Amino acid sequence: MSLKAGFAEVEITPPLGTRKIGLLIDIVSERVLDPLFARAAVIESGNDRVSFVQLDTLSVRWTTTMDIRRRVEREYGFPGASIMVAATHNHAGPAVANLGDVRRDEEYVETLVTKVVSMFGRALESLQEAEIGFGSCFEFDVSRNRRVVMRDGTTRTHGKFTDPQALCFEGPMDPEVALLAARSKDGQMLGAIVNFACHPAHHADEPVLSAGFPGVLAQEARRRGCPVTLFLNGASGNMYHADPATGASHTKEQVGRALANDVGKLLEEIEWQDEAELGCRSATVQLPFRRITDEEIKGTARGAQRFVDSGAYDRYMPELLERIRRMGTQPAEVQAIFLDRHAYVGIPAEYFVEHGLRIKEEAYPVHALVVGHANGMVGYVPHREAFRRGGYETTFGPTSRLAPEAGDILTDCAIALIAKEAEA
């Protein structure tokens, strides 16, 4: 069966004056530093088809994901269930969700969906016989675990080792840079998909719009001959582009160019193939909310760490408590897209790296890659140990509301999906 691949992109930069999202406070955009894009990759082998859609946004709601899938299926006959929609987790983009004081821009979201569906059609039109190649390497210089354990046993997010009370990093990092590239039969690059775990938080507190380091990566890759490069963020909930050991923070240009250099080296040694087995599986799990104490509601629990504006937590608290009461549990879709022995696992969360590494380890010999912020957003999903120590990501509020066991439920589901595919 011949393999086909198609790529497309469309600019999704909102107009100036659009409200931003990335922090819990209301910031209005006044300037565009660089454009935002949506990108799509479609891969076809015989009757099997899979696709990835990447958005230069903080997140994507499950309802927005389903809207994109339904419209694509209706207009083009492409199976919606085989589409993974993932946000890069860009902190300098438009308000695509309600978060703290920020209210979702409904008009922008509708425009976004319309553009994405049209772009998907262009990706389908561009399908051609192709070869694909996989490669991975390790990048240790641009991403660090941002959680620092203090001598009193609590954890400080964005802690620094210049603090005499600092003790150690709380956990590991994931240094893997994974590449899926496609080229035409005559050797011309068609596009690429890059997977790496790091928070794109540049320009979050400024009145500017930017795609962050994923945008720099795509621009640099285009300059080097790859027309469309999707960035699929990994389990980056506690990964950041600053080093607590030195206090130094990498710019978006430094991170994007470092990843582009990694991709360039991988392309020099990649092995190409013109056949691949494709597959897709998904399951929806119900995640429990945590048991909420008065101290958590007030932000005074041990290790609590509210960022930017504590008042934003208090103002949002009645809405959050009512939502939890009404819902009972939080549904979450886990999706796995398979290309030969590789599995891209979509998780709708700011997923801690410990969970991502467990999926990679327990999926062996399948080469598993985790895609965070995919097909929805349930907020931070830390590992169990993190809840004992506190820190920003476990502090109850707009971005963190699930029980400590939620991460293991998602991880177990992902591992089970991979196992089922391996047995089929």
Give the Cβ contact number of residue 292 at 10 Å.
15
Q: Which residue reads 């929609």 in tokens? A: 85
Whether residue 382 has a cis bond before it, omega within 30° of 0:
no
Predicted confidence (pLDDT) at residue 1 exceeds the cutoff of 70: no
139: nearest Cα among 168, 178, 171: 178
- Digit-coded pLDDT (tens) for 325-363: 999 999 999 999 999 999 999 999 999 999 999 999 999
Question: If you write DSSP's letter for every residue of 247-314 in order, what string do you get?
Answer: --B--HHHHHHHHHHHHHHHHHHPEEES---EEEEEEEEEEEBPPPPHHHHHT-STT----S-HHHHH
Contact yes or no for 140/175 (Cβ under 8 A): yes
Is the Cβ–Cβ distance between 60 and 27 less than 8 Å? no
* 392 confidence band (pLDDT: 50, 70, 90): very high
* pTM for this predicted structure: 0.97
Q: Tell me the HSE value of 180 on the side-chain side, using a 13 A CA sphere.
A: 27
| Burial label, 17 (beta-carbon count in 10 A; 0-12, 13-18, 19+) | exposed
Q: Which residue has the higher pLDDT, 24 or 240?
A: 240
Per-residue pLDDT tens over the stretch 86-125: 999 999 999 999 888 889 999 999 999 999 999 999 999 9
